Amino acid sequence: MKELEQIILERGTILPGDILKIDSFLNHQIDVKVLDMIGEEFYKIFKDSNPDKIMTIEASGIAIATAASRYFGSIPVLFAKKTYALNMSANTYQSHEHSYTRDIDYNVQVSKDYLHEGERILILDDFLANGEAMNSMIDICNQAGAIIVGCGSVVGKSYQPGIQRIKDMGYHVECLASVKSMSDDSIEFE
């Protein structure tokens, strides 16, 4: 998606440790016009997969998934939680995720009340690099017997193993902007 690549080039920054920071328009401050463009693009890609629900993971994923939902007729969004909270049912599907940007391990949880066998799930997230977050959501869908109809990420890093790993599992994976390589001051897209 050329328009998004241009926005990343103009408004993203590269930090030491191979981190692409896009918190000027998505991960901290959110440009809602860009967000809706992202949501619409996911709809164009996955509209024929007929999802019943969009799954994502807190925090930034929530903006992306709710934006996309409107194009799919406002289907429900389900966001996986990263920590145990008192207001969460003990009745949960759980998986583990290592966060690269925070360098800690999360226990990813989804209530069994909101994910069911046979439900058609579109998984959306902001970044797909090592694929930890996406993998944990796939794991949870599989535990529930839900049908994963697609996996979409706003940004993918094709030089890291996440995208290929999820393709190898047989899922339809799409990244709106795929970073082929990144140096201290430049980004090359696929």
Output the CA–CA distances (angstroms, integers) from residue 39 to 6, 66, 70, 125, 154, in the order listed: 17, 8, 8, 11, 9
Q: Is 59 in the site for a copy of itself (CB under 8 A)?
A: yes
CA–CA separation, 172 and 170 (whole Å): 7
**Helix or strand run (H / E) with residue 124:** strand 120-128
Chain CA centroid to CA 48, Å:
19
Q: What does DSSP say about strands 53-57 and 77-80: parallel, antiparallel, or unpaired? A: parallel
Q: How many residues bind a copy of itself (CB under 8 A)?
A: 46
Cβ closer to a copy of itself: 170 or 183?
A: 183
- What is the nearest approach in angstroms of a copy of itself to the Cβ of residue 167? 26
**CB closer to a copy of itself out of 37 and 169:** 37
Q: Which one of the spans 86-94, 117-125, 131-139, 144-152 is the region binding a copy of itself (CB under 8 A)?
A: 86-94
- Does 50 bind a copy of itself (CB under 8 A)? Our answer is no
What is the closest distance, in whole angstroms, from the C-beta atom of residue 11 to a copy of itself in the complex? 11
Cα distance between residue 67 and residue 5, in whole Å: 19
- Position 188, amino acid: E
101 binds a copy of itself (CB under 8 A): yes
* Binding positions for a copy of itself, rule: CB under 8 A: 15, 17, 19, 21, 23-24, 27-33, 35-36, 58-60, 62-63, 65-67, 69-70, 74-79, 81, 83-89, 101-103, 110-111, 113-114
